[in-house]
Chain A
């Protein structure tokens, strides 16, 4: 019997870059206000993370739950699924991520966001800034119009990159549970972009590698295990 391993990665690339990037154009033009609000949610979350305020510890997971829910429904379900049947296997991952953020927001597992001045914080800051500010303009280098910009909060790739940054900017014993879905997405997206000959695939892989490396560093330095003071949580 012919088996699945007879297929190569390229066999599963079902669409052209032209069709892929038009997904963002269609989403940006049809859902402009929602797309802008999702981006704004990311900017607010970034601001709160850097301010180190206690309220941010609750609001940031809520904002991230919202953008993941929107990206899953708006981008994956509405736009990506019709051209890529494999998305139906990825959607549960987005649902799981939303549920996890909600759990962190309602506090059974506390997270504490803030700048710590260590290497992971720098990487976290860079990832969030990159996802919010730089990633949408990468297409310009490749000659695509601004209307096809992939924006944090709606397009999956920058949302995932930014999320990795937020996780690195946080502390809490259970923060690692927020990593598997975004890291798996990095692998899948890098594969897709690579098969489409898109150099930006490297970005997803570098982000993945940096996050795993920083996660390991933090684990070794005890950052994730350090007890959070009640004052930091509420």
Chain B
């Protein structure tokens, strides 16, 4: 942890708050979990059949499927029983295809509760899910309570990964996550941004702070992270999660009905969505992409993009110049 960004006046309060939180966590029985192995390892054995492509979390022995599941908008369905069932079906298909990382945030309305509902309904083994959430508050003391509430909604005791959402109040919230990790109450720490915003600040935090993950926007049209952020992540052993792979759905919608380019067949991509995902996860710095969806067929299609064909032992992915050709083909199709 680097304390240079914090005013001294704030330090005492943070420390008290974090200590209180960690003590409270112990009282809730989380202390027992601290010594236990955090879920996340061995995820490759979650489903039978051909396994999806896994990428190693840099600097660890843990690997993650290269496609996860987002939950912004798609899982915010309130108490609607029909839509809750629909989201549970999406999660079922996701896990059946070997998926693991689900990403949410306290900002996403009822999405956390929807995930909790789905996990409980499906009886998902805690080892099978890489629970990824965020802390999102500008109240410097508000993090612990929010994290507790998020875990309650998920129906879990601790997260695999917690990120500072949009770097909001990161000076106070990131040290909290770092302390939780040090105490064994959290697997990994991270920060997020999207839409190419605030890459300068992101770069500074990556340079100065000990973080395990960053989450940024990257797709064939939004490539700002290619210049500095992705190379930096590689250099510093930081795992990279990609949000908005389909530009919130606008990209796949714009491409709908357009003929697929010939090169798609070279990588076994059967849809634009698959071609985009292959483009994203083939970047050497990318750990996984987290498309969100309300549709079972789409989650299957997305997972299939990183799963070898029945007759193959490897997923076909573009490299180097081939990746540029895909980006150009997508630009040309729009």
A interface residues (Cβ-Cβ under 8 A, vs B): 1-2, 4, 6-7, 13-16, 18-19, 22-23, 26, 79, 82-85
Which residues of chain A are near B78, meaning CB under 8 Å?
19, 23, 79, 82-83
Residues of A within 8 A of B20 (CB): none
Known: A2-B168, A2-B170, A82-B109. A19 touches B201 (CB 8 A): no
Across-interface contacts of A19 in B (CB, < 8 A):
76-78, 80, 83
Chain A residue with Cβ nearest B113: A82
* Contacts A14-B109, A82-B110 given; does A1 touch B171 at CB 8 Å: yes
Contacts of A85 on B, CB cut-off 8 Å?
107, 109
In the complex, the answer to whether A2 meets B109 with C-beta atoms within 8 Å is no
Cα distance A166–B109 in the bound complex, in angstroms: 34
Would you call B82 an interface residue if the criterion is a C-beta within 8 Å of the partner chain's C-beta atoms?
A: yes
B166 at the interface (CB under 8 A from A): yes
B57 CB to nearest A CB, Å? 25
- Known contacts: A2-B168, A14-B107, A14-B108. The answer to whether A22 contacts B76 by CB under 8 A is no
Most buried by B among A13, A15, A18: A15
Q: Nearest CB to that of A4 among chain B residues? A: B138
Question: Can you name 6 extra interface pairs (CB under 8 A) apart from A82-B78, A85-B107?
Answer: A1-B169, A2-B167, A2-B170, A19-B76, A22-B82, A23-B80
Cα of A102 to Cα of B190 in the assembled complex, Å: 51
Instruction: Please give, as numbers and ranges, the residues of chain A lying within 8 Å of B197 by CB-CB distance.
Output: 6
Minimum C-beta distance from B205 to chain A (A): 11
How many residues belonging to B are interface residues under a CB distance threshold of 8 Å? 25
**Residues of B with C-beta under 8 A to A4:** 138
B198 interface residue (CB < 8 Å to A)? yes
Q: How far is the CA of A18 from the CA of B138 in the complex (A)?
A: 31
Q: Known: A6-B198, A19-B77. Is A84-B109 also a contact (CB below 8 A)?
A: yes
Instruction: Assess the B73–A26 pair: CB atoms within 8 A.
Output: no
Provide the residues of chain A in CB contact with B201, threshold 8 Å: 2
Q: Is the CB of B83 within 8 A of A15?
A: no
**Residues 76-105 of B at the A interface (beta carbon under 8 Å):** 76-80, 82-83
Dominant secondary structure of chain B at its interface with chain A: loop
Q: Is B138 a contact of A83 with CB atoms below 8 Å?
A: no
Q: Is B74 an interface residue (CB 8 A)?
A: yes
Which 7 A-B residue pairings sit nearest by Cβ, starting from the closest? A82-B78, A14-B109, A83-B78, A2-B167, A83-B109, A2-B168, A15-B76
Query: Nearest residue in A to B5 (C-beta to C-beta)?
Result: A1
List 26 A-B residue pairs with CB atoms under 8 Å apart, sorted by A's residue number: A1-B170, A2-B169, A2-B198, A4-B138, A6-B166, A6-B197, A6-B198, A14-B72, A14-B73, A14-B107, A15-B73, A15-B76, A16-B294, A18-B294, A19-B77, A19-B83, A22-B80, A22-B82, A22-B83, A82-B109, A83-B76, A83-B77, A83-B109, A83-B110, A84-B109, A85-B109
Q: Could you say which residues of chain A place their CB within 8 Å of the CB of B168? A: 1-2
- Chain B residues, Cβ within 8 Å of A6: 166, 197-198
Q: Which residues of B contact A83 (CB under 8 A)?
A: 76-78, 109-110
Interface contact A16-B73, CB-CB below 8 Å: yes
Interface residues of B in 126-184 (CB under 8 A from A): 138, 166-171
Nearest CB in chain A: distance from B106 CB, A: 8
In the docked arrangement, what's the CA distance between A14 and B106, Å?
11
What residues on A are CB-neighbors of B72 within 8 Å? 14
Enumerate chain B residues within 8 angstroms of A26, measured Cβ to Cβ.
80
> Who on chain B is nearest to A10 by CB?
B248
Neighbouring B residues of A14 by C-beta, 8 Å: 72-73, 76, 107-109
> In whole angstroms, how far apart are the Cα atoms of A83 and B170 in the complex?
26
The answer to whether B73 and A13 touch across the interface, beta carbons within 8 angstroms, is yes
Q: Which residues of A contact B77 (CB under 8 A)?
A: 15, 19, 83
Q: How far is the CB of A79 from chain B (nearest CB, A)?
A: 7
For the complex, give the distance between the alpha carbons of A15 and B108 in Å: 8
Shortest Cβ distance from residue B70 to the other chain A in the assembled complex, whole angstroms: 13
Residues of chain A lying within 8 A (CB to CB) of residue B166 = 2, 6-7
A16 to B72, CA, bound (A): 10
Q: Within the assembled complex, what's the spacing in Å between the Cα atoms of A83 and B166?
A: 20
Q: Which residue of B lies closest to A12 (CB)?
A: B107
User: For the complex, what is the distance from the CA of A15 to the CA of B198, rounded to whole Å?
Assistant: 25
Q: How far is the CB of A81 from chain B (nearest CB, A)?
A: 8
How far in angstroms is the closest Cβ of chain A from B146? 12
